[in-house]
Chain A
Amino acid sequence: MKTLGLIIVGLVGAGLVYATIDFPPFGDPKSPASLHVSPRYLEKTVEETAVPNAVTSVLGDYRGFDTMFETTVIFCAGVACFLLLRIPRRRSSGPRQYRHRLTGLTFRIKEGGEIFLPLREFEPVDSIWTPHDFIIEKVCRYLIPFIQLFGLYVIAHGHHSPGGGFQGGVILGASIILLSVSHNLRTALNRMGEKISALFSPVGVFIFAGTGALCLVLGYRFLDYQALAALLPGGPIMARSHGILLVEVGVGMAVMGTMVWIFKNLASRGRYDEGL
């Protein structure tokens, strides 16, 4: 069976390589891909959408409909992880113990009991818990605000430089994950609760799809940002640029929320109790 699989893989690979004989030469400016649709994107992006970065204008406007569904894919992934991993009723995980850092007093929490202790002052006492490094904790605390600021910059500056909602959202999400890795899951949960991260993703995608639907309500086609000229200053061309910005903000929110949401579900095995 293994040999058969190997032969099939070899044949398919050979077929794919065989077809490259008829490919246009690599980097050929006369290849069909650079002659048919792309020239309009490159030449008219400023004229038609007032966005200098052609990648952003293609993703956000010309093929914005695809991007909306790509964001929805991310949302689906978040909901799927939640649906499959989250354990709604608290599983009994045995009694747990916490030590007060300053006084050394130890608290025992009964099976299934709530953790009410302020985690800053207590540390869990169990075999899998490892004490956190002071330096890492402090460095990350000072780093995270700047990471988040950079994430916002990447979202907002996608019109002019590489960036946009997906990249900025990932940076924002990573900052929360870093908080959780460097401190612990509960610290991250206190900053951004389960409900908040779970609501961020649908709200983010809703901003995208809602912007499109707003255009439809205003009498234009779905996602035709020109319609926003009725609500925003700057005429129909600038409205396209503004529309893309709105949509990018939605994408950023959705990506950030979903990343954090998936991380929490995976890291705590759906229990939202202890974790990384």
Chain B
Amino acid sequence: MSEHYPALLVILPLLASFFISAAGWLRPVCCFPLALAALGSSLLVSLGLLGDVISGGPVSYWMGGWPPPWGIYYRVDYLNALVLAVVCAVGFVNLIAARPSVEKDFPEKAGPFYTLYVLFVTGLLGMVATGDAFNLYVLLEIAAITGYALIALGKGRAALSSLHYVFLGTIGACFYLLGVGYLYIITGSLNMEDIARLLPPLYESKVVTVAFAILMVGVWLKMGFFPLHAWLPNAYTYAPSPVSSLVAPLMTKVMVYVMIRMVLTVFTVDFAFLVLRLNEVVVWLAVIAIVMGSLLALAEKDVKRMLTFIVVAEVGYMVGGFWLGNQAGFTGAVLHILNDALMTLCLFLAVGNIVHVNGDSRWESLPGLFRTMPWTMGALVVGALSIIGVPPTCGFFSKWYLLLGAIQGGHYGFLVALLFSSLVSVVLFFRIFEIGFFEPFGASHGSAHGEGGPAIQEAPLGMLVPLWMTALGLILVGLYTGEIVGRVIRHAVPGMML
């Protein structure tokens, strides 16, 4: 059975989504258990794959039994095995936390909601696992369409922000497709490794250069890389909380993975770093992204909206780390995909709990929260410490590698940007802690609670357990960083960067 893992990983949730959709009409109670079973089995398969890759090296799978240049194949190596496990884990944990808010906010739409939820995760898994440039586009479409629909489900300006996202996301996907089309014209192949094999004699061709440029811009647009981030804050703010805690940790991270995969496997490191010599420029772009993302976050007075700008800054971390072009930077970038997915999940889940209980996440709703929602705020503190980069949370370790990469590469601009952003994060989160802890518990709740202070009004257990699983995960991943880097990421570093 284990040789079928790469296919099962995607097929199980895909098949389940059809059953969930049908169950929405015939037996709505079954929707959630089906979704849980689908993502749970995917998680197990992805862990099995990770184990296989660690023990036996990369795995590949020919869809339909056709050999690579003709058919589509999936290839799981050290790099994407890790990302696959993260995507599954985040999707699964967030699904558990999603249930109370779904039942509260749109109970009659649970069927289609869970269908799109599972399909979104399926799309992301396929994007990460595939070894075919066009197949990646098809799965990107699935993840995008389901993402737009889920985001538009929110209240207020959600539909408008989603429409904005639809326009920009479609442009991004089109650019990616154009890039792949140009590559196909010049090489005649869609298979990633096959393209890489055919490209070297064509490095001087204008087609390859333009294909690279347009493909990168498309991917950057989809990941919200700074000047192209305009769609991101509104879309993630107005989305319903179970959706923002799904899309925000995963979509941008998977697009960062796609960027790394495209440079590593399709265009090859030699082309990107030696022929085009883009690294210096892109790292400076990342510096701007980090600084601007942090500054814009500083201007916000809504926790959720502030987090979306932190996501923008974090994208800069990963892009910059990768384009530093040395081993430490690469390790930091890949490790940060894992860590940032977990940190973002933890923070968005915590905010989701606050929204679930209080109705919104603006600063006016924060006072006294440490007393009324101690568990939620405790997890928020862990997530915040990780974003700031305090050991032993995992955020510290990836930042450490990124700093190391900046020093080794002699790129002090990036170094300063990283430190600046950490300092800004300290300010951002301690402002929240201050309001939540010290500010007098407002007149809104008044004296009804009497002398002993306000009663505890915590989110339901179904939301607290996944939140704390994530928070503990942050610390665990931090403690096992050595293992993760030594056993997995070290093998993914391309030869040129060693």
Contact = CB atoms under 8 A, between A and B. Distances in A.
B412 interface: no
A178 interface: no
B69 A65 contact: no
Contact of A66 (B72, B115, B178): B72
A79 B115 contact: yes
Chain A contact residues, majority secondary structure: helix
A27 to B, nearest CB: 13
Interface stretch (B38-46, B184-192, B246-254, B283-291): B184-192
B121 to A, nearest CB: 13
Interface in A130-153: none
A64 B64 contact: yes
A220 interface: yes
Contact of A22 (B146, B178, B205, B213): B205
Interface in A54-111: 61-66, 69-70, 72-73, 75-77, 79-80, 82-84, 86, 88-89
Given A32-B186, A63-B72, A65-B64, A203 B210 contact: no
Contacts of A61: 64, 66
Nearest to A207: B18
Interface string B202-233: 00011101110110000000000000000000
A163 interface: no
Contact of B138 (A70, A202, A224): A70
The listed residue with most B CB atoms (<10 A of its CB), out of A21, A63, A82, is A63
A63 B145 contact: no
B108 interface: yes
A18 interface: yes
Interface stretch (A37-45, A121-129, A182-190): A37-45
Judged by DSSP, the binding face of B is helix
A272 interface: no
Contact of A21 (B66, B149, B189, B206): B206
Given A70-B138, A80-B145, A22 B72 contact: no
A222 B142 contact: no
B139 interface: yes
Interface string B113-154: 101100100000010000010110011011001101100110
A19 B210 contact: yes
Contacts of B207: 19-20, 22-23
A224 B187 CA distance: 27
Nearest to B68: A37
A216 B206 contact: no
Given A37-B190, A195-B25, 20 more contacts: A15-B210, A16-B178, A16-B214, A19-B207, A22-B207, A32-B187, A34-B188, A35-B188, A69-B135, A72-B119, A76-B146, A79-B21, A79-B115, A79-B149, A80-B145, A80-B149, A209-B15, A209-B18, A221-B61, A221-B63
